[in-house]
Amino acid sequence: MTPPLYIAIRFLSHRKRAFILSLSGVVFGVAIFICTQAQTQGFAKNFIDSTLGSNGALVLRSRFQTGATGLMVPPKTSAGNAAGLPRRHFLSGITNASEIMRISRQFADVAACSPVLRGTLSARAGFENATVDLFGIDPVYHLQTTNLAQQIIAGTFDEFRNNPNSVIVGSRLAEALEVGAGDAIQLLSPGGEYRRFTVAAIARSGVGIVDAGRVYSHVRVAQTLLRKPFSASMIVYKLRDPERAPALAREFETLFQHESQSWQDREEANLQLFVTLRMSAAITVSLIILLAGFGIFNVLTMSVLAKIKEIAILRSMGYRARDISSIFLWQGAMIAAAGSIIGCIVGALFTWGVSHIPIQVRGLVYANHFLVTWDWRHYFWATLLAVIAVFIASYVPARRAASLAPVATLRGSSA
């Protein structure tokens, strides 16, 4: 143990109450930072996992053709040229879905893909009516691409797969229509005729908009109901690395000449909301750590004033200015180290405790308790913030102690 470190420990031991108060501020700030980040990221991760499991990481939609503008210069505010892109003319449906899927599977990032025929219909059950988002799917492909089988909370997926005249209904939609597995539901075709189906299963994706309006049917049934000449209006992709979705979407647009959208673009507004919440929580809790730093600054400043005589004696014994400075920096370092370690432990306990608090969330996400995520980066950033705050708080008192002149200090203390 170096002499400055030994002296720093002795100085701290003489001011135990101030040391404990300073330490408590760091512990509390680090713990709350970890806990709040675990919560905000937990809800965000749950939403991302749910939307990827329901809507895929990438969606390929309508085919487009680049329109020729001839000699006429389009206005600057035109939709096709607002971003410097050529005007596109979109054609409904995907007529060569099988060929596109065959080529898509050759990409290393593509884990699975599923054709979907989508449309809007009216549903009726008893005296209840609702507008629904119909997804006509191939059960085999869709099972490989999404988490639909894991989302079933009533009934079975096999019942849907084996019965073309059955549907899967979103959980919140089922509550609105007051239907359950085995009940009957009617879907209204554009021609004005109702067709009767059996509810094979109820699915809960965890995404509010999906659970409140989605109905799954077999693709051939959907094609008849919607009266579409094509069997797919989009292709949903599951990727091995969802973060690669934007780059792959651009490749698919160029290759297939179909509109492609990554999940990041599709959920941009919701993702920005979660990022804003995380940043807001981080800034708020960082202020707690900053206040703890002010407390440490006051403690070390008072320690310098209280130890003027001892500092003068140390200087007269041959201690250099940087040795005196290191004594007070060591005090700050011990507070930062102990506060960070204890704060990380307390933060983990807080996070575990919060994850068991029951709540009822039925909006953007579905949750019966606080959702948290365990990420080592929360502990790293909390520790880094604590170290920076404590170092800044320790630096000024340490410089002040080092600048004290030994002779003048001894004279002032003897007087």
- Asked if residue 13 has pLDDT above 70, the reply is no
For the chain, how big is the Rg over CA atoms in Å?
A: 32
Amino acid identity of 39?
A: Q
CB neighbourhood size of 354 (10 A): 17
What is the rounded distance in angstroms from the CA atom of residue 242 to the CA atom of residue 356? 29
Amino acid identity of 349?
A: L
How do beta strands 58-66 and 152-155 pair?
Answer: unpaired
**What pLDDT score does 85 carry?**
56
CB neighbourhood size of 293 (10 A): 26
Phi, psi (deg, nearest 5) at residue 146: -120, 180
* Cβ proximity of 22 and 295 under 8 Å: yes
**Mean per-residue pLDDT, 245-268:** 90
Return the percentage of the chain with pLDDT > 90, whole number.
30
Amino acid identity of 352?
A: W
Check residues 283 and 11 and name the one with the higher pLDDT: 283
**What pLDDT score does 303 carry?**
62
| b/e burial code for range 81-103 (CB count within 10 A of at least 16 → b) | eeeeeeeeeeeebbeebeebbee
Nearest to 394 by CA among 303, 337, 328, 339: 328
pLDDT digits (tens, 9 = 90+) for 127-180: 888 999 999 999 999 999 999 999 999 999 999 999 999 999 999 999 999 999
**What pLDDT score does 289 carry?**
75
Side-chain half-sphere CA neighbours of 19 within 13 A = 18
| DSSP state letters, 246-265 | HHHHHHHHHHH-EEEEEHHH
**Least confident interval from 168-177, 263-272, 280-289:** 280-289
**Least confident interval from 57-66, 70-79, 236-245:** 70-79
Return the percentage of the chain with pLDDT > 70, whole number.
78
pLDDT digits (tens, 9 = 90+) for 293-316: 777 776 666 666 555 666 666 666
pLDDT digits (tens, 9 = 90+) for 311-362: 666 666 666 766 777 777 777 788 888 888 999 999 999 999 988 888 777 7
What is the rounded distance in angstroms from the CA atom of residue 153 to the CA atom of residue 203? 6
* Cβ proximity of 381 and 343 under 8 Å: no
**What pLDDT score does 185 carry?**
92
Which residues pair with residue 116 across a beta bridge?
A: 137, 234
**What pLDDT score does 288 carry?**
74
Amino acid identity of 161?
A: R
**What pLDDT score does 202 carry?**
94
**What pLDDT score does 276 carry?**
84
Phi, psi (deg, nearest 5) at residue 287: -65, -35
| DSSP state letters, 210-250 | HHTTEEEEEHHHHHHHHT-SSS-SEEEEEESSGGGHHHHHH
What is the rounded distance in angstroms from the CA atom of residue 353 to the CA atom of residue 299? 33
CB neighbourhood size of 377 (10 A): 9
**Least confident interval from 47-61, 120-134, 244-258, 384-398:** 384-398
Nearest to 217 by CA among 204, 200, 234, 235: 200
- Asked if residue 367 has pLDDT above 80, the reply is no
In 3-state terms, what secondary structure has residue 95? Answer: coil
What structural domains does the chain harbor? 3-52+270-414 (no CATH), 115-231 (2.40.40)
Phi, psi (deg, nearest 5) at residue 156: -135, 150
**What pLDDT score does 70 carry?**
43
- Asked if residue 414 has pLDDT above 70, the reply is no
What is the rounded distance in angstroms from the CA atom of residue 219 to the CA atom of residue 224? 9
Kindly report the average pLDDT of the chain as a whole number.
81
CB neighbourhood size of 402 (10 A): 21
**Number of H-type helices and E-type strands within the chain:** 15, 13
pLDDT digits (tens, 9 = 90+) for 172-209: 999 999 999 989 999 988 777 788 999 999 999 888 88
Q: Which residue has the tokens 């701290």?
A: 12
Check residues 171 and 277 and name the one with the higher pLDDT: 171
Which of 45-49, 111-115, 369-373 holds the top average pLDDT? 111-115
pLDDT digits (tens, 9 = 90+) for 77-87: 444 444 555 66
What is the rounded distance in angstroms from the CA atom of residue 142 to the CA atom of residue 147? 8
Which residues pair with residue 136 across a beta bridge?
A: 117, 217
Nearest to 303 by CA among 4, 2, 12, 5: 12
Six-digit token string for 266: 């599709």
* Cβ proximity of 334 and 387 under 8 Å: no
What is the rounded distance in angstroms from the CA atom of residue 214 to the CA atom of residue 208? 10
